[in-house]
A = this chain, B = another copy of it.
Amino acid sequence: MCGKEKHSLTLVPDYKLWFERDGEYIFGPGAYAILKSVYEEGTITKGAKKLSMSYRYAWGVIKKIEKKLGITLVETFKGGTEGGGGARVTENGLKLMELYSNINKAFNDILESSSHLNL
């Protein structure tokens, strides 16, 4: 065995993106996933279930951000197509999702071209 073996190491880059306000953590990947899931599923119950979360947890995450920002991200309503009510992501909620998603996509594009780094 030689003391100076040639190593071939592959490293995989990953990242976490979040939004702050006045230095306080506000919105990250978890909250984004919840908003997206509620948007896609149309109810908080189904949106949370899809992510294997409890309704209570998912709703709590949304409410916490709404309180910090003083805006509404998700509106619930009664009735609807299935009669059981539903949840609607507000304009501000959609805007927040879009801001997050745009940066995420740009970051992912960068990582795609360097998804495996060799030392």
Contacts and interface: CB of A to CB of B under 8 A. Distances in A.
Interface of A: 7, 9-21, 26-27, 69-71, 92, 95-96, 99, 102-103, 106-107, 110-111, 114, 117, 119
Contact of A26 (B7, B11, B95): B11
Q: How many copies of this kind of chain does the complex include? A: 2
B15 A17 contact: yes
A18 B14 contact: yes
Contacts of A69: 7, 9, 119
Contacts of A18: 13-15
B19 A12 contact: yes
A15 B14 contact: no
Contacts of A20: 11-14
